[in-house]
């Protein structure tokens, strides 16, 4: 048992639900429900950050799922994520091969698991024509956005982050939205979270895009994530 965390436990629908502090959200944890007493936390004390040993597994999983049918690979990059259509230099971090790639590249940053899922979610939203363009033909407005720019940023992020939420659950991890504007106007994080959640519920009711559903299924099979339903969402994310 880790002292100091007991106040964050809740028994929800007969299951032990733990809401970890933000600074350890990316650590791996296992919960054991004791219905007669409190909840116990079996915790891996090994430092575990978002850049973790499961990233190579994630890369292989995506490439095994999509590289043949869609000529697209997930690639570990450096500081900035980017989508590169075929015919651009290979972008793999520390790669000596600078030849032109024959496949499309989804390049994610810093080895972060969450960055990889976020970039995959954008790919799942993009149509065939968009996938022939660098960064799907969109211009990214960087950190430091004003109120109008932040609204526009969040508007195009709702669907990708709803898919990312579902993928994160399938990967057996906990999700947080990203408003990504540290040096600009203060975002309405709760309002944005509600809009992303509403889109996620719509997907649960009407179905996910084809490629997103394929990857959600692959993630759940690989990482043993729960089956996402609106009831499960209400139980585990009651305040979001």
- How much of the chain is helix, strand and coil, in % rounded to 5? 45, 15, 45
Going by the DSSP 8-state scheme, the letter that residue 22 receives in this structure is G
Residue 45's pLDDT band, with cuts at 50, 70 and 90, is very low
Tell me which of 224 and 38 has the higher pLDDT: 224
CA distance readout (Å), 122 to 95, 119, 163: 24, 5, 8
CA distance readout (Å), 75 to 97, 107, 127: 13, 5, 20
Q: Give the number of other Cβ atoms within 10 Å of residue 78's Cβ.
A: 14
* Domain definitions of the chain by residue range: 6-43, 55-137, 147-236
pLDDT of 125 reads 97
Instruction: Name the one residue in this structure whose structure tokens are 């043949």.
Output: 68
CA–CA separation, 159 vs 203, rounded Å? 9
Contact 24, 4 (CB under 8 A): no
pLDDT of 32 reads 32
Instruction: Name the one residue in this structure whose structure tokens are 């991890």.
Output: 173
pLDDT of 3 reads 31
Lowest mean pLDDT of 89-93, 114-118, 156-160, name the range: 89-93
pLDDT of 94 reads 61
């Amino acid at each position: 048992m880790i002292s100091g965390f007991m106040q964050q436990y809740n028994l929800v629908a007969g299951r032990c639900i733990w809401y970890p502090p933000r600074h350890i959200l990316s650590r791996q944890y296992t919960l054991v429900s004791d219905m007669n007493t409190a909840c116990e936390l079996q915790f891996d004390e090994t430092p575990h950050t978002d850049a973790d040993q499961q990233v190579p597994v994630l890369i292989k999983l995506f490439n095994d799922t999509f590289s043949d049918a869609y000529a697209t690979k997930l690639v570990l990059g450096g500081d900035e994520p980017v989508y590169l259509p075929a015919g651009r230099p290979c972008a793999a971090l520390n790669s000596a091969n600078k030849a032109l790639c024959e496949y499309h590249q989804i390049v994610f940053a810093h080895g972060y698991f969450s960055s990889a899922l976020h970039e995959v979610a954008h790919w799942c939203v993009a149509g065939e024509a968009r996938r022939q363009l660098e960064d799907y033909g969109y211009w990214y407005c960087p950190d430091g956005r004003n109120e109008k720019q932040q609204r526009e940023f969040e508007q195009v992020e709702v669907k990708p982050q709803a898919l990312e939420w579902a993928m994160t659950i399938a990967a057996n991890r906990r999700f947080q939205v990203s408003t990504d504007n540290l040096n600009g106007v203060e975002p309405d994080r709760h309002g944005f979270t509600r809009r992303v959640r509403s889109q996620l519920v719509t997907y649960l009711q009407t179905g996910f895009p084809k490629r997103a559903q394929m990857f959600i299924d692959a993630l759940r099979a690989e990482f043993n994530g729960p089956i996402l339903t609106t009831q499960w969402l209400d139980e585990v994310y009651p305040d979001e």
